[in-house]
């Protein structure tokens, strides 16, 4: 997703500038071409040499304003070069300049000389952030479709204040950049309600023992994130999320999150949300069976059954397939080994799905618990689109691209 992509980063004067070192480093390591502009005040926090080293390219300052590149002004060259522009930290001063179209330094001149999507990551003291003038500027800038936002969050600030104004973390900023590079800033899912299931359900024998599966929920989180970045209203019904850490929590910002444990809890939550959904994406690994009897207290080891009677679990996807309306789209996932296409097609037809992603979980770095995935995307009209191994966020975008092309009606 990042190989050869052109990312321009503008850094204003704020202590949060140190966080952008990690962003620049990760982008460069992933193969992106990165250019960095620092305002004069930004250099009081992080030096141009730091960003030049991390980006493998000289960093620019106002001293370079009139530098010529191939006979053209630098801000024109950089503005036309960039595929996406990140402004982080975005200070109250730079925010005001953007609102009024000021171009009094290299960074703001480059913003005006560019047409690519711009991601804004504000950072400032809570009292500054909550000023009416700052909030007015913030709302006005968001009304411009070119600008996209991440954060700010709340927490302890460098001034020891606890409150809003904390810049988004690198693990929040990087995925948003990836989405903008894929969509080119288009909010093509705006107005859609997307309902997503995620994670692996648990069917308990007693309070501490259960039948489960290896799903971590990472694919569902990536789907929610991609849909949100594309402008959709997202509801995520998720079983326990495993190993996603703080990043998983950040992915849920802006998403209506409904945590569940068992397949029946997931079923009830999904059916409750179904009438308002346009697309339903079933990425959860839902149990097929459950213990026939539940024990309210932990069973002593000596009392554990040597054979475990099982009961079936309702097929949620199949039930939704019978209930969905003509305008709704139902998309499933099929975690398979060996031949992945034949059983996925069978699942698509039996459950009345509109599309399905067949995942080879027996391949390295694919399927449960990994950060990458691969699939064959299938629809009810016989199309098959292979997606080679990629990040789960890219997989989510590729799936949404596929669903966008499904015939209507």
Give catalytic status of residue 159 as yes or no: yes
> Which residues carry a binding-site annotation?
288, 298, 333, 347, 351
338 — phi, psi (to 5°)? 70, -125
Alpha helices in 252-380 (DSSP H): 263-273, 316-323, 341-350
DSSP letter at 279 equals E
- Cis link prior to 152 (omega < 30° from 0)? yes
| Residue in 270, 271, 408 with CA at minimum distance from that of residue 328 | 408
Catalytic, out of 21, 116, 159, 390: 159
Query: Collapsing DSSP states into helix, strand and coil, what is residue 263?
Result: helix
- Distance separating the N- and C-terminal Cα atoms of the chain: 33
* Crossing angle of helices 218-229 and 392-404, rounded to 10°: 60
Residue list, annotated binding site for CTP: 288, 298, 333, 347, 351
| Joined tokens for residue 247 | 């990043």
Residue 87 token pair: 């402004």
8 A C-beta contact, residue 281 and residue 223: yes
396 and 357 in contact (C-beta within 8 Å)? no
Report, as residue numbers or ranges, the catalytic residues.
159
């Amino acid at each position: 997703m990042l190989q050869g992509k052109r990312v321009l980063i503008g850094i204003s004067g704020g202590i949060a500038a140190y966080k952008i070192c990690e962003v620049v480093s990760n982008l460069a390591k992933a193969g992106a071409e990165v250019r960095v502009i620092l305002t004069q005040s930004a250099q009081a926090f992080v030096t141009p040499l730091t960003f030049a080293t991390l980006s493998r390219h000289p960093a620019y300052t106002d001293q370079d304003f009139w530098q010529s590149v191939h006979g053209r002004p630098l801000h024109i060259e950089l503005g036309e070069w960039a595929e996406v522009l990140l402004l982080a930290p975005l200070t109250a001063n730079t925010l005001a300049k953007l609102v009024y179209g000021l171009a009094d330094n290299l960074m703001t001149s480059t913003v005006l000389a560019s047409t690519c999507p711009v991601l804004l990551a504000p950072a400032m003291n809570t009292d500054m952030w909550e000023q009416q003038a700052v909030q007015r500027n913030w709302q006005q800038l968001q009304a411009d479709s070119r600008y996209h936002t991440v954060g700010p969050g709340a927490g302890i600030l460098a001034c020891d204040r606890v409150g809003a104004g904390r810049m988004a973390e690198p693990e929040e900023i990087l995925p948003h950049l990836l989405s903008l590079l894929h969509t080119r800033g288009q909010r093509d899912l705006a107005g859609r309600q997307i309902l997503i299931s995620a994670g692996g359900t648990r069917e308990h024998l007693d309070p501490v023992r259960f039948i489960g599966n290896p799903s971590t929920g990472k694919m569902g989180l990536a789907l929610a994130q991609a849909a949100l970045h594309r402008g959709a209203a997202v509801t995520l019904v998720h079983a326990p999320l495993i190993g996603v850490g703080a990043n998983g929590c950040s992915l849920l910002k802006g998403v209506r999150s409904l945590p569940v444990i068992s397949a029946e809890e997931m079923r009830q939550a999904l059916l409750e949300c179904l009438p308002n959904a346009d697309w339903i994406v079933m990425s959860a690994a839902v149990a097929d069976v459950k213990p026939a009897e539940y024990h309210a207290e932990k069973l002593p080891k000596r009392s554990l059954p040597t054979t475990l009677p099982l009961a079936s679990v309702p097929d949620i996807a199949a039930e939704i397939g019978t209930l969905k309306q003509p305008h709704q789209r139902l998309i499933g996932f099929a975690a398979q080994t060996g031949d992945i296409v034949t059983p996925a097609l069978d699942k698509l037809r039996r459950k009345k799905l509109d599309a399905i992603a067949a995942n080879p979980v027996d391949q390295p770095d694919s399927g449960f618990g990994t950060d990458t995935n691969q699939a064959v995307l299938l629809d009810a009209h016989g199309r098959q689109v292979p997606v080679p191994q990629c990040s789960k966020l890219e997989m989510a975008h590729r799936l949404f691209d596929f669903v966008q092309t499904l015939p209507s009606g």
